[in-house]
Structure 1
Amino acid sequence: MFQDAFKTLKIAGAIVALIVGAGFATGQEVMQFFVVHGSLGLAGTLIFFALCSYATISLLLVGQKYHFKSGEEVFRYYLGDIAGKLMSWFATLFLFSAYVVMLSGAGSVISQSFGVPVAAGAGLMAVLVLLVVIFGLQQLVNVVGSIGPLLVGLVVVIALSVLMDTGLGFDYDRPLAESGAQYQATPYWWLSGIIYLAFQVIGLASILPVIGGREKISKNLIGGGLLGSLLLFLTLLLLVLALIASTPAVTGAEIPTLVLAAQSTGKIAELFVYIILAGIFTTCAPCLWMVLARFSPDDKSKKYRLYAAVLSLLGYFCSVLLPFSALVNFIFPLAGYLGVIFLFFVARKQVFGKARVEA
Structure 2
Amino acid sequence: MRKWSEAFQVASVYVGTIVGAGFATGREIVEFFTRFGFYGTAAIFLAGVLFIVLGSKIMLVAIDIRAKSFEQLNEYLFGRRLALVMNIFLMLMLTGVCAVMLSGAEALFTEQLRLPQRTGLVFTVILTLIVMAAGVKGLFAVNTFVVPMMVVFNFLVMLLVMNTGSRVFAPVVSSGWEEGGKAVLSAFSYAAFNLALAQAVLVPMAAEIKDRSAVKRGGVIGGLLLTVILSSSHISLGTLSDPASFDIPMAVIVEGTAGTLYFLYLLIIYGEIFTSVIGNLYGLERQIRSYLPIHSLWIYICLLSVVYVISLVKYGTLLEILYPLFGYISIGFLFLLLIKPDKAR
Using structure 1 for the length normalisation, give the TM-score.
0.80
Partner of 2:45: 46
Question: Which of 317, 326, 333 is 1:342 aligned to?
Answer: 333
Indicate if the aligned counterparts of 1:100 and 1:316 stay in contact, CA closer than 8 A: yes
Output the CA distance in 1 between the equivalents of 2:78 and 2:16.
27
Output the CA distance in 1 between the equivalents of 2:124 and 2:269.
15
Output the CA distance in 2 between the equivalents of 1:286 and 1:120.
22
Letter in 2 for 1:324: Y
**Superposition deviation, residue 172 in structure 1:** 4.1
**Superposition deviation, residue 276 in structure 1:** 1.9
**Does the C-alpha gap of structure 1 residues 282 and 15 become closer, same or farther in structure 2, counting only changes over 3 Å?**
closer
Greater shift in the superposed pair: 22-31 or 148-157 = 148-157
Partner of 1:78: 77
Question: Which of 268, 273, 278 is 1:280 aligned to?
Answer: 273
> Does residue 205 of structure 1 match 2:196?
no
Matches within 5 A, 1:283-302: 283-288=276-281, 290-291=283-284, 294=288, 296-299=292-295
> Does residue 189 of structure 1 match 2:183?
yes
**Superposition deviation, residue 255 in structure 1:** 1.1
Deviation string for 1:159-200 (max 9, x for gaps)?
221122235x4454236x99xxxxxxx992111111111111
Output the CA distance in 2 between the equivalents of 1:136 and 1:14.
17
Deviation string for 1:283-335 (max 9, x for gaps)?
3244345445617542278xx37x825x54443332232x3222112112222
RMSD: 3.3
**Does the C-alpha gap of structure 1 residues 190 and 126 become closer, same or farther in structure 2, counting only changes over 3 Å?**
same
**Does the C-alpha gap of structure 1 residues 297 and 101 become closer, same or farther in structure 2, counting only changes over 3 Å?**
farther
Deviation string for 1:10-67 (max 9, x for gaps)?
4433432332234311111101111111111112112202222221232233233222
Using structure 2 for the length normalisation, give the TM-score.
0.83
Partner of 1:183: none
Partner of 1:325: 316
> Does residue 23 of structure 1 match 2:22?
yes
Indicate if the aligned counterparts of 1:16 and 1:228 stay in contact, CA closer than 8 A: yes
Output the CA distance in 2 between the equivalents of 1:64 and 1:141.
20
Partner of 1:174: 172
**Does the C-alpha gap of structure 1 residues 300 and 157 become closer, same or farther in structure 2, counting only changes over 3 Å?**
closer
> Does residue 246 of structure 1 match 2:253?
no
Unpaired segments ≥5 residues, structure 1: 179-185
Deviation string for 1:125-184 (max 9, x for gaps)?
465257548x936576665443232123222222221122235x4454236x99xxxxxx
Partner of 1:91: 90
Output the CA distance in 1 between the equivalents of 2:276 and 2:97.
8
Indicate if the aligned counterparts of 2:24 and 2:269 stay in contact, CA closer than 8 A: yes
Output the CA distance in 2 between the equivalents of 1:171 and 1:72.
41
Provide the identity percentage: 26
Question: Which of 216, 222, 232 is 1:228 aligned to?
Answer: 222
**Superposition deviation, residue 9 in structure 1:** 4.0
Matches within 5 A, 1:133-148: 136=133, 143-145=141-143, 146-148=145-147
**Does the C-alpha gap of structure 1 residues 290 and 207 become closer, same or farther in structure 2, counting only changes over 3 Å?**
closer
